[in-house]
């Protein structure tokens, strides 16, 4: 007879010497882990709730502007330097980590500054409704900074001393108020949008060409060069048009007119940094649209979430996310390809958001609003700033994968999807939802009472574009 | 502009359809000189990377078995989703391989060599006495054979989940908790009143005692922490560790659930079956089994005021209950009654027990070990039966082959408990407690994340906090614990329910307001392949059990009937008219034609549903 009984020696299960981790044993037999799935679900639910609990996206407010912040621009190849321009004609260069102003250019333009773009690391182009384009040198940052600090010590605001304004490197005069400006990625060229689209050479005082679409009667709202193919230019205008130009041929290549019934006029546009033909439009009809310019017949995705006009948009440098700012006083962070449930940022004091921009490391978002503040937000609301130890990082990754795995669960999904939004936004969204729903149901009923097959439902994507011109 | 388009086309063509690369592949195989085949079996770097990635086709070794898990998702259009699903299924396959390795390498050795094994035909394991076992094994394992002579009445006992600590209670009020392996006494108190049961709470730091009038909770040092006055005259206690629920049943016949993390009395169920003296929990689904005076056994969950199952198990009071923790998550239950019978039940099919026999010497006390051994303590003996014979259906009422037996002279035996992670069985009786060795009954491999016999103080505290964070809501206790995270069954959608309830067409939920899944189904765009997949995989699972449910499941999943009345074609009418008791070649031809038409239609429907065998679907990731 063979007899074997379990022998457990305590010494085998203790650490070899003090300070060693206690030895652990694993048994993967599912019978050893009752309620494994239910417990995992509870953990996922807790992870989802923790994400919402730790969602504190607001980092800092960069003050300094006396009027609404119209436009923001990121310095190329830099993580910390940004410029902002306001409706009172002031341009400020910010340093993000220090949260200081590196440079102030008061009265850069007589009225509102409407466009701002970097020519290279040291030169900024600005345009305004005073019909001027100016180039500024921001390389002498340190001197100006010290002078501002001295001013502030004296208790006087630097902007009040008009003598502190540096002289522009160059000034270009236009015939109409400029709405937007963008600099060519390689050459010494830039494009402006007013009632027409013009190409300028930095060396010449007048515009070198006017490449407006022949039949256009629009006011150009926004204009952007493609980073991948530098001669390609895109613009959006008030006549609900989106136009593509090639500055080498010097003419408009393609144009689409978007639907009229929802006043589908775009306010801003942004080329995807990773996918060369993908472009994002921020529209007056509360939606954002991505188009693949190879097939302009319909947008590749509609992003629904704002409850008022979307005023600005910007891609994350990774091309997987983008940010939008709206007339509804919210900043929203979207995932590319997911047309719903964005992350919504808001604050009690933030007014209409007119400009938004991602930082170059894709971790932060800047928004400029009507109240004259530039706000710094985290790109992931529950992100933890600062140094994390390995265990904490592992725990966070585990929680993330739990959320991804259980997002289809009713309760977990509900927590993950829900956002606290200000009451007016919530009410407006509810009302909008009711109206759209009623419209859909009405359409369905109408179809039920027409002859079978007489009218087919049309996807929203298919009805966005009225006409495509080439 | 053209350059831009060309650049984008290189990344992703405008038509999102994937190019069928079959022709390309064929070409590459026919022309071996062009493809650079690297033999990675030699390359150590590639070998180290291999378990964590998918190799590109060009690097795969020729003639070897390539990984085909991803192929099953070829029909899914979305490239990103397809890649995600393929990598997930690859991970699953690898994880399963690792578990299988573990099972192959570790478990058989322990399972086959564990316990008592006869070396030739005439040897019988039950002839081995405890003295022989102790003499043979020696060492620490011999400490499993103990005799505690105590005079507190008949004793009941309970181990902590890690098997390290033991709580005992005598009928006359002697309560003690101790670390039974090292012999450290935690607390010893004389309560001087009738005590009927004892249980540890989450760990050895607290325990509950069913005293004559109420349930009391004591801490590790024997200090009374709570008097649970709402538990009246309790007879039996159970603690559900993952839900943090203390369950009691008593003389008035009320089953009470108390949440020990919040102190809230969760729910009280009136059993309406009088005083209850028998209770057991199913550790895999937290269902409470009660045995009653009239011979019924009832199964309870907190969220139902009636028993989930009611079963007449014995002719006379039920004296003991035990649920098998070893087989497929509490599949088997053993009951014993005052009629002297012991019965084994299959918890999925209550139409009669799968095995019964009579235990000599009156009502028996039962307990299952972690490996499925059943200890039956009745009269003056303890019999232990092995798991092999116990769960195979056997109609004649004869006792299954005995594994081990041990005489105990003191009667009655009031309790039997197998120690977790140890090969010992503790028996409580009128003269104290005796622990006997049952080789092969304990689980050899413990999991430190669930229960660790050797955990220290910090690990215990950590586990307590984690346990509280992972507390499963009590309303999730059901007979089938696998419903969590499962895909909703067919027929539970809004539209289907309305159709079933006969809501008028004009009153039904409009299409636009239906959930997305149902809209897709209505449009015929839903991916239904997973239904067939689940059916086939379930069959595989159940096959080895040889059970009844296979048919039942198929019935649930069978195609929904199309209710269509008055469908009578001219051809059918003609046939009806012509139907006579003669073999008419024309009729036969027509019949054949009809049959062919029907077959063609069925085939067409099947094709339309896109039901090809072996295809996985989007929803498959919820299956495990």
State the DSSP H helix or E strand holding residue A199, giving kind and residue range, or none if neither: strand A197-201
Are A352 and A311 a contacting pair, CB within 8 Å? yes
Please choose, from the candidates A149, A233, A151, A154, the residue with its C-alpha nearest in 3D space to the C-alpha of residue A199.
Answer: A233
List chain A residues with CB under 8 Å of B325: 31
Beta strands in B71-139 (DSSP E): 115-117
Indicate the range of B49-53, B139-143, B332-336 predicted with least confidence.
Answer: B49-53
Are B291 and B276 a contacting pair, CB within 8 Å? yes
Q: Are residues B146 and B284 in the same domain?
A: yes
Between A1, A25, A292, which is nearest B119 by CB?
Answer: A1
**Alpha-carbon gap: B111 to the closest alpha carbon of chain A (Å):** 11
- Domain containing B5 equals 1-11+21-54
**Alpha-carbon gap: A384 to the closest alpha carbon of chain B (Å):** 22
Number of domains in chain B: 3
> Counting beta carbons within 10 angstroms of the beta carbon of residue B177, is it exposed (0 to 12), middle (13 to 18) or buried (19 or more)?
buried
Q: Are residues B267 and B161 in the same domain?
A: yes
Q: Is residue A38 less than 8 Å (CB to CB) from chain B?
A: yes
Q: How far is CA B85 from CA A408, B103, B611, B622, in A?
A: 15, 27, 19, 11
Domain end marker among B437, B456, B481: B437
Between A39, A254, A337, which is nearest B472 by CB?
Answer: A39
Q: Are residues B29 and B148 in the same domain?
A: no
Residue B28 neighbours by CB distance under 10 Å: 14
Percent of chain B scoring above 70 in pLDDT: 81
Q: Are residues B172 and B298 in the same domain?
A: yes
CATH number at residue B372: 2.130.10.10
Take residue A48 and report the two structure tokens written for it: 């989802």
Residue A401 neighbours by CB distance under 10 Å: 12
d(C-alpha B126, C-alpha A30), whole Å: 31
Domain end marker among B437, B457, B473: B437
Q: Are residues B298 and B369 in the same domain?
A: yes
**Alpha-carbon gap: A46 to the closest alpha carbon of chain B (Å):** 8
d(C-alpha B276, C-alpha B290), whole Å: 7
List chain A residues with CB under 8 Å of B523: none
Q: Is residue A414 less than 8 Å (CB to CB) from chain B?
A: no
Going by the DSSP 8-state scheme, the letter that residue B251 receives in this structure is: T
> Counting beta carbons within 10 angstroms of the beta carbon of residue B468, is it exposed (0 to 12), middle (13 to 18) or buried (19 or more)?
exposed
pLDDT at B581: 62
Indicate the range of A140-144, A424-428, B54-58, B251-255 predicted with least confidence.
Answer: A140-144
The radius of gyration of chain A from alpha carbons, rounded to an integer in Å, stands at 27
List chain B residues with CB under 8 Å of A294: 5, 8-9, 14
Residue B36 neighbours by CB distance under 10 Å: 7
**Alpha-carbon gap: A230 to the closest alpha carbon of chain B (Å):** 9
Q: Is residue B113 less than 8 Å (CB to CB) from chain A?
A: yes
List chain A residues with CB under 8 Å of B128: 1, 3
Has residue B110 been placed in a domain?
Answer: no
Please choose, from the candidates B235, B271, B237, the residue with its C-alpha nearest in 3D space to the C-alpha of residue B251.
Answer: B235
Strand order in the sheet with B245-250: B234-240, B245-250, B254-259, B265-270
List chain B residues with CB under 8 Å of A441: 510, 512-513
Sign of CA dihedral A20, A21, A27, A32: positive
Are A110 and A89 a contacting pair, CB within 8 Å? yes
pLDDT at A412: 95
Residue A225 neighbours by CB distance under 10 Å: 23
pLDDT band at B323 (very low <50, low <70, confident <90, very high): very high
Sign of CA dihedral B193, B198, B202, B206: positive
Q: Are residues B286 and B411 in the same domain?
A: yes
Indicate the range of A430-434, B85-89, B499-503, B567-571 predicted with least confidence.
Answer: B567-571
pLDDT digits (tens, 9 = 90+) for B475-514: 999 998 888 888 777 777 888 888 888 888 778 888 878 8
Q: Are residues B153 and B84 in the same domain?
A: no
Beta strands in B230-388 (DSSP E): 234-240, 245-250, 254-259, 265-270, 276-281, 288-292, 296-300, 309-312, 318-323, 332-337, 341-346, 355-358, 365-368, 374-378, 381-385
Q: Do A34 and B283 touch (CB under 8 A)?
A: yes
Higher pLDDT, A440 or B258: B258
Has residue B151 been placed in a domain?
Answer: yes
Q: Are residues B271 and B201 in the same domain?
A: yes
Sign of CA dihedral A374, A378, A384, A385: negative
pLDDT digits (tens, 9 = 90+) for B244-283: 999 999 999 999 999 999 999 999 999 999 999 999 999 9
Sign of CA dihedral B300, B305, B309, B312: positive
Between A29, A32, A228, which is nearest B7 by CB?
Answer: A228
Q: Are residues B67 and B169 in the same domain?
A: no
Q: Do A6 and B442 touch (CB under 8 A)?
A: yes
Q: Are residues B151 and B208 in the same domain?
A: yes
Q: Do A34 and B481 touch (CB under 8 A)?
A: yes
Take residue B255 and report the two structure tokens written for it: 């089953």
**Alpha-carbon gap: B185 to the closest alpha carbon of chain A (Å):** 18
Q: Are residues B228 and B354 in the same domain?
A: yes
Q: Is residue A408 less than 8 Å (CB to CB) from chain B?
A: yes
Say what the pTM is: 0.81
Instruction: Tell whether the model's pLDDT for residue A155 goes beyond 50.
Output: no
Q: Are residues B35 and B163 in the same domain?
A: no
Helix (H, G, I), strand (E, B) or coil at B183: coil
Task: Report residue B156: phi and psi, to 5°.
Answer: -120, 155
Domain end marker among B437, B456, B477: B437
- Which residue on chain B is closest to A45 by alpha carbon? B470
Domains in chain A, ordered, with CATH?
58-135+169-381+403-417 (2.130.10.10)
């Amino acid at each position: 007879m063979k007899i074997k009984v379990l022998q457990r020696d305590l010494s085998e299960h203790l650490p070899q010497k003090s300070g060693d981790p206690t030895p652990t044993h694993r048994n993967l037999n599912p019978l050893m882990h009752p309620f494994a799935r239910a417990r995992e679900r509870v953990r996922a639910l807790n992870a989802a709730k923790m994400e919402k609990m730790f969602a504190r996206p607001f980092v800092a407010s960069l003050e300094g502007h006396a009027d609404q912040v119209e436009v923001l621009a990121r310095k190329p190849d830099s993580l910390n330097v940004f410029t902002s321009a306001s409706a009172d004609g002031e341009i400020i260069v910010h340093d993000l980590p220090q949260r200081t102003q590196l440079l102030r250019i008061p009265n850069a333009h007589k009225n509102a500054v409407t466009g701002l773009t970097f020519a290279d690391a040291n030169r900024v182009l600005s345009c305004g409704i005073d019909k001027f384009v100016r180039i500024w040198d921001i390389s002498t940052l340190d001197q100006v900074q010290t002078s501002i600090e001295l001013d502030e010590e004296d208790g006087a605001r630097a902007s009040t001393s008009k003598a502190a304004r540096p002289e522009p490197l160059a000034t270009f005069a236009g015939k109409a108020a400029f709405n937007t400006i963008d600099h060519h990625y390689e050459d010494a060229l830039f494009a402006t949008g007013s009632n027409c689209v013009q190409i300028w050479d930095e060396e010449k005082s007048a515009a070198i060409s006017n490449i407006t679409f022949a039949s256009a009667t629009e006011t150009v709202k926004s204009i952007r060069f493609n980073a991948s193919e530098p001669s390609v230019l895109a613009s959006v205008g008030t006549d609900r048009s989106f136009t593509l130009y090639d500055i080498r041929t010097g003419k408009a290549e393609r144009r689409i007119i978007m639907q009229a019934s929802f006043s589908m006029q775009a306010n801003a546009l942004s080329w995807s940094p990773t996918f060369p033909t993908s472009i994002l439009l921020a529209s007056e009809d509360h939606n954002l649209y991505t188009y693949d310019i190879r097939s302009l017949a319909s947008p590749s995705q509609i992003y629904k979430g704002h409850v008022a006009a979307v005023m600005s948009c910007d891609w994350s440098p990774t091309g997987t996310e983008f940010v939008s700012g709206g007339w509804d006083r919210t900043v929203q962070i979207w995932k590319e390809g997911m047309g719903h449930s964005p992350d919504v940022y808001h604050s009690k004091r933030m007014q209409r958001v007119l400009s938004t921009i991602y930082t170059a490391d894709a971790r932060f978002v800047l928004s400029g609003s009507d109240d004259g503040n530039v706000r710094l937000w985290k790109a992931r609301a529950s992100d933890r700033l600062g140094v994390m130890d390995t265990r904490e990082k592992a725990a966070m990754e585990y929680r993330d994968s739990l959320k991804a795995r259980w997002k289809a669960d009713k309760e977990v999904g509900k927590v993950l999807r829900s956002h606290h939004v200000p009451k007016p936004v919530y009410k407006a969204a509810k009302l909008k939802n009711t109206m759209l729903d009623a419209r859909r149901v009405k359409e369905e009923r109408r179809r039920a009472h027409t002859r079978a097959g007489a009218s087919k439902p049309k996807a929203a994507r298919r009805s966005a574009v009225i006409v495509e011109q080439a | 502009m053209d350059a831009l388009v060309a650049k984008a086309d290189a990344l992703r063509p405008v038509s999102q359809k994937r190019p069928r690369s079959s022709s390309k592949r064929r070409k590459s195989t026919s022309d071996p000189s062009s493809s650079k085949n690297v033999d990675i079996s030699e390359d150590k770097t590639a070998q180290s990377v291999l378990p964590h990635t998918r190799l590109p086709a060009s690097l795969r070794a020729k003639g070897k078995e390539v990984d085909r898990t991803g192929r099953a998702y070829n029909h899914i259009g979305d490239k990103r989703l397809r890649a995600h699903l393929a990598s997930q299924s690859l991970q699953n396959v690898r994880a399963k391989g690792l578990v299988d390795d573990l099972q192959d390498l570790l478990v058989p050795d322990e399972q086959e060599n564990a316990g008592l094994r006869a070396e030739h035909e005439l040897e019988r394991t039950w002839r081995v006495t405890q003295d022989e076992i102790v003499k043979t094994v020696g060492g620490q394992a011999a400490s499993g054979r103990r005799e505690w002579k105590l005079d507190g009445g008949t004793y009941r006992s309970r181990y902590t989940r890690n098997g390290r600590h033991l709580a005992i209670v005598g009928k006359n009020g002697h309560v003690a908790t101790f670390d039974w392996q090292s012999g450290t006494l935690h607390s010893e108190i004389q309560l001087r009143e009738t005590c009927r049961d004892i249980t540890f709470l989450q760990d050895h730091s607290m325990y509950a005692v069913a005293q004559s009038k109420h349930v009391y909770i004591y801490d590790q040092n024997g200090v009374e922490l709570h008097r649970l006055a709402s538990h009246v005259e309790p007879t039996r206690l159970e603690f559900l560790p993952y839900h943090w629920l203390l369950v009691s049943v008593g003389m008035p016949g009320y089953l009470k659930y108390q949440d020990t993390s919040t102190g809230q009395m969760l729910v009280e169920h009136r059993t309406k079956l009088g005083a209850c003296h028998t209770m057991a929990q199913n550790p895999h689904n937290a269902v409470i089994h009660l045995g009653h005076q009239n011979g019924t056994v009832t199964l309870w969950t907190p969220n139902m005021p009636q028993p989930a199952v009611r079963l007449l198990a014995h002719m006379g009071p039920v004296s003991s209950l035990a649920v098998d923790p070893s087989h497929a998550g509490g599949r088997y239950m053993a009951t014993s009654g005052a009629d002297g019978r012991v019965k084994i039940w299959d918890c999925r099919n209550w139409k009669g027990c799968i095995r019964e026999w009579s235990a000599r010497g009156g009502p028996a006390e039962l307990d299952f070990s972690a490996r499925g051994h059943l200890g039956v303590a009745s009269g003056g003996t303890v019999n232990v039966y092995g798991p092999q014979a116990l769960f195979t259906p056997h109609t004649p009422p004869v006792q299954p082959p005995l594994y081990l037996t041990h005489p105990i002279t003191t009667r009655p035996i009031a309790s039997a408990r197998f120690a977790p992670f140890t090969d010992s069985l503790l028996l409580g009786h009128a003269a104290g407690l005796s622990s006997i060795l049952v080789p092969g009954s304990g689980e050899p491999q413990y999991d430190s994340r669930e229960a660790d016999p050797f955990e220290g103080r910090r690990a215990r505290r950590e586990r307590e906090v984690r346990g509280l964070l992972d507390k499963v809501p009590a309303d999730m206790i059901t007979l089938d614990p696998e419903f969590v995270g499962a895909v909703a069954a067919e027929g539970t959608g809004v539209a289907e329910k309305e159709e079933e309830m006969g809501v008028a067409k004009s009153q039904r939920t409009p299409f636009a307001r239906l959930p997305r899944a149902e809209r897709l189904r209505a449009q015929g765009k839903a991916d239904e392949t997973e239904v067939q997949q689940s059916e086939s995989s379930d069959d595989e699972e159940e096959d080895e059990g040889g059970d009844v449910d296979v048919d039942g499941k198929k019935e649930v999943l069978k195609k929904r009937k199309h209710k269509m009345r008055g469908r009578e074609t001219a051809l059918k009418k003609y046939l009806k008219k012509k139907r006579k008791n003669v073999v008419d070649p024309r009729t036969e031809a027509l019949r054949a034609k009809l049959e062919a038409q029907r077959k063609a239609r069925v085939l067409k429907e099947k094709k339309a549903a896109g039901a090809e065998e072996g295809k996985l679907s989007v929803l498959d990731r919820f299956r495990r």
